[in-house]
Amino acid sequence: MSNQIGNYSLFIALFASIFLIFQSSNSIRSKSKNLDSKIFSALSVQSLMVLISFFSLIYAFIISDFSNETVYNNSHTTKPLFYKISGSWGNHEGSLLLWLLVLTIFLFIFLISSKKLLNKYRLLTILFQELIIIGFLIFILFTSNPFLNLFPVPKEGTGLNPILQDPALAIHPPILYLGYVGTSIIFSSSLAALVCGMVNKIWAKHIKKWIVISWIFLTIGILLGSIWAYYELGWGGFWFWDPVENVSLMPWFCLTALMHTIIVLEKRNIYQSWTIILSIATFSLSMGGTFLVRSGILNSIHTFANDPSRGIFILCFLFVLVLLAIFIFFIFQKKIMKNLSKTFFVSKETAILINNWFMMFFLSVVLIGTVYPIFLEVINSSKISIGPPFYQKLIVPFLIPFMLFMAVGPKLKWIKDNLSKINLNQLVLLILSIIVSYLLVKLYGVNYLFIIPLIGLGFFLFLLTIKDFFSKESTLSQKISHFGFSLFILSILFNGIFTKEFTSNMKVGDKREFINKTIKFENLKIVEKNNYKSLVANFSVSDGKDSINLIPEVRIYNQPKTLTSEADINSTIYSDNFLVFNVIKDDGYYNVRYQYKPLMMWIWFSIILISAGGIISYFKKDD
C-alpha cells in the first residue's frame, strides 16, 4: 500500500507543478498585484504530496517491505531501526526524494517570507523554482522511482552498505542537502530579481537570509562528512581531496564569495553582476556535483549510482537551466547597470572583491583536479588519480596573500580609505609573528616550502582576530567566523607538520617502538552482534610515563557480506591517538596503522565557530 501511496503522491505533485508553471505565467502576463490564492493552494498541495511520498518510503523501510525494490536493495530485517530510517535516504532513489522534499518546502517557506516584496518577483521565483522541481519529479518518476514493485516478494533484503550505518552519516546527507537545495532558491530568486530590475539593497536584504542559511547547512554538512570519513573510513585525517569531498567544497567556495558580495550590495548597492553570476555558479556547482555523484563517473566510497543514463539526464537538465540563466543574464543585465555607486581601490568593498578572486582561484584548482581525470579518461582511456600534492602545491602559496588581505581587509573603511595611515601596532605584530614562526621552524627542524610565512601570517591573523573582539569595527558574527577561520588555518598547519604515522604487521603479544612510544598488541577477542561479528583488538600505547588503551575493531557483516575496519581514537585537546587494524592473509598477523595527530579537536571546533558566526548573522535583527 505504501508503494502506491508514495507513487501516486509524486504524480499529483507533478500535476501541481505543471499547474503552478502555467498559473504563474498567466499571473505575470496579467500583471496582477496580488498573489493568486490558487498558487498558494497548489504549492501547499505539492509540498504535502511530496511529504506524504517521503514518509511512505520511510514507512516501507521501517516495516521491511521487500516488495519495494529500493527497500530490498538497501535494507534487511536485522538492521537497527535507526539505520532502517536513515537508509531511506542512504541510496540513490531515496536521496533524490529527500532533495525534492527540501526543494518544495523551501519554495513554500520562500512564498510565506516574501509577502512584502513585488508580486511579479515572487511569481517569477515560483516559475523558475518549479522548472527545477518538475525536472526532479520527471527524473525520479521515470528513471529513479523509489516505489518500484518486486514480485515475487523476497523474504530478505540485500542490506545497506555497512560503512553507511553510522550516526554521523545518517544526518550528514539531510543537512548537506539543505545547503545544496538552498542554492536553488538563491538561483531562482536572482533570475527573478534580474528580470524585475530589482537587484538592489532591498532584494539583497531579503535574499541574504537564504544565502546565510544555505552556507550554514553546507558548512555543517561538510564538517559531519569529514568527521565520519576520519573515524569510519580509517583515512586518519580531516580531508583527503576525495572527488566527492571536492564536489561539496566547490559550491562552498562560491557560496562564501556570494555571502560577502551580498553584504556589499546591501551596504553600497554595487557588485550586482557579481551577485547574479555567483548565484548562478553556486547552483550550477551543486547540480554539477549531483551529476558527478549519480552518474558513476566518480570513483569514490561516497557515490550512490553507477548508471550513466541517469547522469546524462541530470547533465542535460543542468545544461538547459544554465543556458536559460545565461540568456536571461545577458538580456536583462542592462537593468542592473544603472545608477551604480563609485568604488575606490583602497576600500572594504575592494578587499571583498579581492577575497572573491581568491575564492574563485581555489574553486578553479579544485574543479580542475576533480574533472581533469574524467576528461583524460574519455579522451585516451588513461586513468589517473590526482591527490593531495596537486592541491597543496597550487593552493598553499596563494594562502599567504589571501591571509594578508583577510587580516587587512576588514580594517578598511567603506567607500574610501587611506593607505598612508600605517598601523604601527599591526606592523609590530606581523614582525613578531614572523619571528615566532622562524624560531618554531628552526626548533623542530621543519622543512616545508613557504612554511615560515604561512605560520607567521597564521599567527598574525589569529592575533588580529582575537584583538577584534575588543573593538567595535565589525559585527559579532564576523568576529567569530574570522577567528574560527584563523584557528582553522593554524590547526591544519600544525596538524600537517607534526603528524606522525606508524604502520606494521603485528600479531598478539608483539611490541613495536615508534618515536618515543611503545605499541603493544595486548589481546584479541570475538564479539557477536545482531547483524555482524566483530574482532575486537586491544592495543596499549605507552611513552614511558603515560599509557593509553586503544580498542579498534574489524567487523564482518552478514547482510551484505562485508568486512569493515573501525578505528579507535583517543582524543584530547592537544592531540588524537588514532589506531586501526586490518586482517591480512598471513596467519595470525594483522596490519596495524597508528597515527599521532595534533590539534584534531581544534580543527573540528574551528569549523563549528565558523558556522556559529553564520548562525548569529542569520538571527541578528536588521538595522
| pLDDT tens digits along 139-189 | 999 988 999 998 888 888 887 677 777 787 778 888 988 999 999 999 999
Q: Higher-confidence residue: 562 or 6?
A: 6
What pLDDT, in 10s, does the model give residues 227-243?
888 887 766 788 888 88
pLDDT at residue 341 is higher than 50: yes
Portion of the chain with pLDDT greater than 70, in percent: 92
The answer for residues whose C-beta is within 8 angstroms of residue 171's C-beta and 6 or more apart is: 86, 224
Predicted local distance difference test score (pLDDT) of residue 515: 84
Q: Which of 324-338, 413-427, 440-454, 496-510 has the lowest mean pLDDT?
A: 413-427
Residues 421-433: pLDDT tens digits?
A: 556 778 888 899 9
* Cα Rg, the chain, nearest whole Å: 26
Q: What is the pLDDT of residue 234?
A: 67
Residue type at 179 in one-letter notation: G
SS (H, E, C) 78-124: CCCHHHHHHHCCCCHHHHHHHHHHHHHHHHHHHHHHCCCCCHHHHHH
Give the mean model confidence (pLDDT) for residues 451-478: 89
Alpha helices, H only, 469-552: 476-498
Once rounded to an integer, what is the mean pLDDT over residues 342-361?
83
Q: What confidence score (pLDDT) does residue 402 get?
A: 93
pLDDT level of residue 62 (50, 70, 90 thresholds): very high
What is the arithmetic mean of pLDDT over 574-590?
Answer: 87
Q: Which residues have CB under 8 Å from 397's CB, separation 6+?
A: 449, 450
225 neighbors 245 (Cβ within 8 angstroms): yes
CA atoms 416, 419, 424, 426: torsion sign? positive
Higher pLDDT pick, 235 / 578: 578
pLDDT reported for residue 342: 61
Q: List Cβ neighbours of 500 (8 Å cut-off, separation of 6 or more).
A: 514, 515, 595, 596
Q: Which three cell numbers stand for residue 354?
A: 579581492
Q: Which residue has the higher pLDDT, 408 or 598?
A: 598
If you average pLDDT over residues 515-543, what whole number do you get?
89
Among the listed residues 228, 255, 293, the one whose alpha carbon sits nearest the alpha carbon of residue 96: 293
Contact 97, 53 (CB under 8 A): yes
Residue 151 or 103, more confident: 103
pLDDT at position 455 over 60: yes
pLDDT score of 623: 47
Is residue 505 exposed (0-12), middle (13-18) or buried (19+ Cβ within 10 Å)? Answer: middle
As given in the structure block, the three cell numbers for residue 53 are 511520498
Q: What is the mean pLDDT of the chain?
A: 87
Using a 10 angstrom Cβ sphere, with 0-12 exposed, 13-18 middle and 19 or more buried, the burial of residue 566 is buried
Place of cell 555523484: 293
**Whole-number Cα distances in Å, 210 to 103, 206, 493:** 13, 8, 33
Distance CA 561, CA 10 (A): 34
- At 428 the pLDDT is 86
Predicted pLDDT at 345: 66
Rounded to 5 degrees, what are φ and ψ at 162?
-55, -35
CA dist., res. 73 & res. 67, Å (int) = 11
The per-residue pLDDT for 35 is 83
- Looking at per-residue pLDDT, the higher value among 377 and 174 belongs to 174
Q: Name the amino acid, one letter, at 173.
A: P
* Set of cell numbers at residue 242: 576525495
Res. 299 pLDDT band, cuts 50 70 90: low
Calculate mean pLDDT across residues 396-421.
77
Which grid cell sits at 37? 490564492
pLDDT of the residue at 314 = 79
Cβ-contact 579, 565 below 8 angstroms: no
Q: Which residue has the higher pLDDT, 308 or 217?
A: 217
